[in-house]
Structure formats: C-alpha cells, structure tokens
Amino acid sequence: MGTIRARLSHVGIHAQDKPRLERFYTTVLGLMVTDSGKARSGMDLTFMSADPANHHQFVLVSGRPDTSGFNPINQISFMVDSLADLREVHRRALENGATEMRVLSHGNAWSCYFKDPEGNVVEAYLDTPWHVPQPHGDPLDLSKSDEDIIRETEAICRADPGFMMIEDYQRAMAQRLAG
C-alpha cells in the first residue's frame, strides 16, 4: 500500500452557546449554515461552510463543558482572498465581540488572530508569494495600503537567510513528500 497523505477537511468544536457562535461565524467570516439537527447522542450540531463544493468546513456541537480557563483548541484558521478581506474580518470581529486582536505578518502569510465569544482563537489569513522559515512574526498595520504592505513584507522576507519564492518552497516540499 502506498503512502497516505491526509488533507484536513473540516473542524468541529463544542460550544456552550451555539446560537451565539453561529451568529459570530456567519457575521464575521461569512460562513453559511448548511444543515443543523440533533445527533443520536443528543448533541445539537450546526454544519457551516463558505464553499459550495464542501457541505461543511466547520461544525458547532452543543455540550461544551466549563473548561475553567483552559481551551484545548490552539486555533481555528480560515483563509481569505485578499488584504481587503482581511481588513473586513478584522473590523467585523471587533464589532462582534472578538477580543485579544493580534495582526501579524508571518512572511509567508498575513494573519489576524482574535478570540471568539467563547475564547476560541481564530485566525483569518492569506498567503503571500514568499516563504521564510517559521515561526516568524512581524507587526502588521492593516491601515497601510496593499502596496505598502506588500513592499514592506517582501523586503523583510528577502532579508531572511531562509527566503525563497513560494513556488520554490512548494517544489522542494513536493520532492520531500515524494521521497
């Protein structure tokens, strides 16, 4: 049997206040409720997606216990299409109760991190055309123009000894996976 290369398809999380999180994710990230109902276990499920080819990318499940300040979810990441979209998610998240907002350039991506109303860390991001070794994080000012953000990020990336264009990184990664 050949090597299996699994691909992440969707994420499901337990919610304390499922209707509140449904409103948050539909309003902030534009997810749409595709289905909802009660499982045999008795838990209520809400399936959500922003892709017509995927019935669900995100699932909310009732029954989250009090985690007493610890959340086992490190982060839930959503890709957006542009810096304008990232700015809009940033704005909507703040308007809808997100906390602990952090906006960073990872060199290979521009990211906006925040906590949803139940304390789950959410990342909205988009890829850049560059690769630099991770972890890498520089402050990102979304009030700057796209051109300024692109120019500044590229200059920082090119100064990193591990810099390469994303196509070169992907080609090298494909060779590693095949080998």
Residue 87: per-residue pLDDT: 96
Where do you find CATH 3.30.720.110 in the chain? 74-179
Look at strands 138-139 and 99-105 and give their pairing.
antiparallel
Domain formed by 7-63, architecture: Roll (3.10)
d(CA 158, CA 138): 14
Residue 174: per-residue pLDDT: 87
What is each CA distance from 169 to 63, 107, 127, 131, 132, in whole angstroms?
Answer: 42, 13, 13, 7, 9
d(CA 152, CA 175): 31
Q: Residue-wise pLDDT tens for the chain (179 aa)?
A: 666 566 777 899 999 899 999 999 999 999 999 999 888 888 899 999 998 888 889 999 998 887 777 777 878 999 999 999 999 999 999 999 999 999 999 999 999 999 999 999 999 999 999 999 999 999 999 999 999 999 999 999 999 999 999 999 999 988 887 87
Residue 85: per-residue pLDDT: 95
d(CA 176, CA 179): 5
Residue 178: per-residue pLDDT: 82
Residue 6: per-residue pLDDT: 63
Where do you find CATH 3.10.180.10 in the chain? 7-63
Look at the domain 74-179 and name its fold: 3.30.720
Q: What is the DSSP letter of 159?
A: H
Report the alpha-carbon angle 124-126-128, nearest 5.
150
